[in-house]
Structure 1
Amino acid sequence: MSDWHSWAALAVFVGAYVLIISEKIHRVAVALGGAGLMLAIGATDDVSAFYSEDSGIDWNVIFLLMGMMMIVGVLKRTGMFEYLAIWSVKRARAQPFRVMAMLVVITAVVSSLLDNVTTVLLIAPVTLLVCERLGLPSAPYLVAEVMASNIGGTATLVGDPPNIIIASRAGLNFNDFVVHLAPLAALLVAVLLVLCRIMFRSTFVYDDGRAAEIMALEEREAIKDPRLMVQGLVVLALVMAGFVLHPVLHYAPSVVALLGAGLLVASTKVDTDDVLAEVEWPTLAFFAGLFIMIGGLIDTGVVGQVSHGLAGLIGGSELGGAMALLGGSAVLSGIVDNIPYVATMAPITSDLVHDMGGGGHHVLWWALALGADLGGNATAIGASANVVVLGIAERNRRPISFWQFTKYGLVVTATTVAVSLAYVWLRYFAWA
């Protein structure tokens, strides 16, 4: 492509980013409009956009998300998540900090199995109910949960959308993420609990009367369809087994998710239209538009120029590259949503890995995943789950301001990123 195409593609992409950050225009409209402009100016074409593995729409990502959204849509109807939340509160004896600890751990675990946006959509409304019954401010609990969702989502391939993008680009599987990132994620959840005990200590006020009321709730009443819940859990277990057995079965995660969704819909009495209505089609359209915009940057050579520049700046040092990528990604992911950021950085990281000889333990990819996932906690707009929770709080007249979230997010992000930097250095360099 000519220099004119490169500059035009860069201008389209930067303009789209600015509009996404400003939120003056819906991000789906921006992504699709930007994709259309990339095609119109000739930065990419229909063949590259729809069929190229390097610069086109990553259909594995699209269909993996679609399949998981359908499965979660069925499980949502059973009341299983409400049951889990009420059960945890009763097991914590309605003690405020114990309640927070239980909800944080549950959120982190569920976010490692499902995507973090879905998790907070299911857990946040129940949390608001619990806080209302106990007479507690909801903001600390919601903030703690969304941060737990971003940390827990780091542990697996399906836990956070950026991980899906990284896995697809780097050729990593579900087991790779579990082996390399799950131990750190567990440690970071423990770190988060310590920070919550300190940051929110003034809000942990126990009320005997309110505690007695919530202890009287019967969690079994939350289950609306026990048969459907069992069927959904069986299918979810089979899907997770399919992810883990990828080295043996050789089925892509997207295929496993779609098979699971199809099996669940075919073997139950749920209405197909209702299940499809649970799919976040705007999110999938956003991904498609974003991939086409990134493809325009790849096809015009912009990404290649940036990657070579970064490689020269790092100087061939894998340690320096990992530290810079982790820290820099954390900062940038706190400013912009981590999904478009990782979609932009994935091809650049791929070039860096290639220039450094392949990176047998994939340390640069782990650095990118950690920086993007954990950096999303820094501000209210750093991750999609953050924006979702703030919207839920506002609709329930419990608004959380940008800076109310961010003042805690910066502390959590700085601490978890510091721990992650030490983990990467120790595991892949000091003890290698």
Structure 2
Amino acid sequence: MQAAIAIAVFVTAYVVIASEKVHRTKVALAGAAAMLLLHITDAETAFYAEDTGVDWNVVFLLLGMMVIVSVLRRTGVFEYVAIWAAKRARGRPYRLMVMLVVITASASALLDNVTTVLLIAPVTFLVCERLGLDVVPYLIAEVMASNIGGTATLIGDPPNIIIAGRGGLTFNDFLLHLAPLVVLLVAAFCLLCRWLFRHAFRYDGDRAAEVTALEEREAVTDRPLLVQSLTVLAVVIAAFVLHPVLHYEPSVVALLGAGLLVAATKVTTEEALEEVEWSTPVFFAGLFVMVGGLVETGVIGAISEAAADATRGRPEFATMLLLWGSAGLSAIVDNIPYVATMSPIVADLVHVPGTGGQVLWWALALGADLGGNATAIGASANVVVLGIAARNGTPIGFWRFTKYGLAVTLAMVALATPYLWLRYLL
């Protein structure tokens, strides 16, 4: 009975979010409240349980990086990068998109994808404003590039960290097995963008000439603050990359970096916090509680176990079902709680003869990471970018994102299928 109620609450919330009639944060909070009110979950489970509660690592990672970005924005560095990018692209819209996609994908392999989009989104707004371009296609392309690029490394996408912990996999394992495919996927995505966003590539020669004539160095308004901010950001990025050695969670690193930056500079606490996208971490908290209700009542576990039972003894079928099934489920629920639920089952399957072995981990990672592109709430980075867009007066609708996301997800997972088949199953 409780499982049916949990499904009803989640599906209702999802439909309302997709309808765009009510702000998604209100819906997520209402759904979380319903889960608590109907005793689907309780406060201890919702706020403290590692597998079925709010993932505070994600929430505080967002908060810390938003504070750092807020301080950086005051230096003029985003304007500098925007002018630099526009000049290198010579004002050509498609060339600019390819440049931003490659930068985003590359950065997402070294940072987590949420941090990457927090840094690249302000640049995108500025450069599109300079060139008179619609910013929405560029934001959508970047967030999808972040999810694709983040697939390449252990730290690039939060689900990969969960998979590495459960599977005993190293940073180099991800590089060896997934990075070659990701390079191919990024190249294919750049070509796909040419078709998907073809109506957005309108070249304005006059605006391009104006941007080309600008001197990017003049955009920097506070050099001492810029040096301080970039120093702290460099330390934070280094700590992210050295996570396997330092063993500090990304959320801890982000909060320490934000605190150090505010303490060491002339920026006040009020100024640092005023541009934080508060609705985004609150939305995540509500979403985690709702998905936790599905996990707590055994809904997601039952689906996963049924799929696992059906694949024993058939490694090819197991791999393909895990790849495509993960992509489909990650489009509906955030891929972080999905992977947290599925990884114990995969850990059992990996050690069962005739199920495919380690390839199952790569199928799970590819399905969850690439499937996160399918809908507006499929991955953390998607939600963050939609929040930034709404705050800047250019909201991205659920269905506008999803119509592109479904096409990209199908194309990327289709390319991943022969890679897994040829490299591991033959």
TM-score range, shorter chain: 0.7 to 0.9
Q: Percent identity?
A: 60
Q: Does 1:276 align with 2:273?
A: yes
**Alignment equivalent of 2:411, drawn from 406, 411, 415:** 415
* C-alpha separation in 2, matches of 1:403 and 1:13: 18
| Matching of residues 317-396 of structure 1 within 5 Å | 317-334=314-331, 336=332, 339=334, 342-344=336-338, 346-357=340-351, 363-378=359-374
* C-alpha separation in 2, matches of 1:410 and 1:250: 36
Per the TM alignment, residue 101 of structure 1 is displaced from its structure 2 partner at its CA by 2.4
Residue type of the alignment partner of 2:72: L
Per the TM alignment, residue 192 of structure 1 is displaced from its structure 2 partner at its CA by 1.9
Deviation string 1:68-127 (CA, Å, 9 cap, x unpaired) is 222222222222222112112212333444333223223333444351552453133124
Do the aligned partners of 2:117 and 2:142 also contact (CA within 8 Å) in 1? no
**Alignment equivalent of 2:420, drawn from 414, 421, 424:** 424
| Matching of residues 220-235 of structure 1 within 5 Å | 220-235=217-232
Say if 1:147 and 1:288 are closer, same or farther in 2 by CA, change over 3 A.
Answer: closer
* C-alpha separation in 2, matches of 1:23 and 1:400: 10
**Alignment equivalent of 1:247, drawn from 240, 244, 247:** 244
In structure 1, the residue corresponding to 2:151 is in which secondary structure? helix
Deviation string 1:223-242 (CA, Å, 9 cap, x unpaired) is 22222222222222222222
| Matching of residues 83-122 of structure 1 within 5 Å | 83-112=80-109, 113=111, 115=114, 117-119=117-119, 121-122=121-122
Per the TM alignment, residue 393 of structure 1 is displaced from its structure 2 partner at its CA by 7.8
Deviation string 1:13-41 (CA, Å, 9 cap, x unpaired) is 33333333333333323333333332333
Do the aligned partners of 2:159 and 2:340 also contact (CA within 8 Å) in 1? no
Query: Any stretches of 5+ residues in structure 1 without a counterpart?
Result: none
**Alignment equivalent of 1:257, drawn from 254, 273, 291:** 254
Deviation string 1:250-304 (CA, Å, 9 cap, x unpaired) is 2222222222222222222221122233333322222222333333333333333
* C-alpha separation in 1, matches of 2:256 and 2:392: 37
Q: Provide TM-score, normalisation by structure 2.
A: 0.81
Residue type of the alignment partner of 2:231: V
Do the aligned partners of 1:184 and 1:423 also contact (CA within 8 Å) in 2? yes
Say if 1:403 and 1:344 are closer, same or farther in 2 by CA, change over 3 A.
Answer: closer
Residue type of the alignment partner of 1:128: C
* C-alpha separation in 2, matches of 1:139 and 1:289: 26
Deviation string 1:182-231 (CA, Å, 9 cap, x unpaired) is 44333322222233345566876766544332210121122222222222
In structure 2, the residue corresponding to 1:90 is in which secondary structure? helix
Equivalence for 1:311: 308
Do the aligned partners of 1:111 and 1:119 also contact (CA within 8 Å) in 2? no
Deviation string 1:351-377 (CA, Å, 9 cap, x unpaired) is 233344399986545434433443344
Do the aligned partners of 1:121 and 1:388 also contact (CA within 8 Å) in 2? no
Say if 1:363 and 1:17 are closer, same or farther in 2 by CA, change over 3 A.
Answer: farther
Residue type of the alignment partner of 2:420: V
* C-alpha separation in 1, matches of 2:32 and 2:170: 29
Say if 1:344 and 1:274 are closer, same or farther in 2 by CA, change over 3 A.
Answer: same
In structure 2, the residue corresponding to 1:53 is in which secondary structure? coil
In structure 1, the residue corresponding to 2:21 is in which secondary structure? coil
Equivalence for 1:129: 129
Per the TM alignment, residue 347 of structure 1 is displaced from its structure 2 partner at its CA by 0.7
Say if 1:270 and 1:45 are closer, same or farther in 2 by CA, change over 3 A.
Answer: same
Say if 1:180 and 1:211 are closer, same or farther in 2 by CA, change over 3 A.
Answer: same
Residue type of the alignment partner of 1:321: A
| Matching of residues 57-76 of structure 1 within 5 Å | 57-76=54-73
* C-alpha separation in 1, matches of 2:28 and 2:394: 31
Per the TM alignment, residue 349 of structure 1 is displaced from its structure 2 partner at its CA by 3.7
| Matching of residues 401-412 of structure 1 within 5 Å | 409-412=405-408
* C-alpha separation in 2, matches of 1:173 and 1:276: 36
Q: Does 1:43 align with 2:37?
A: no
Do the aligned partners of 1:89 and 1:99 also contact (CA within 8 Å) in 2? yes
* C-alpha separation in 1, matches of 2:179 and 2:373: 18
* C-alpha separation in 1, matches of 2:205 and 2:29: 53
Per the TM alignment, residue 144 of structure 1 is displaced from its structure 2 partner at its CA by 3.7
Per the TM alignment, residue 327 of structure 1 is displaced from its structure 2 partner at its CA by 1.9
Say if 1:398 and 1:50 are closer, same or farther in 2 by CA, change over 3 A.
Answer: closer
Moved more, 249-258 or 92-101: 92-101
Q: How many residues are paired up?
A: 421
Query: Any stretches of 5+ residues in structure 2 without a counterpart?
Result: none
* C-alpha separation in 1, matches of 2:203 and 2:20: 40
In structure 2, the residue corresponding to 1:78 is in which secondary structure? coil
Deviation string 1:372-395 (CA, Å, 9 cap, x unpaired) is 443344466766766777788899
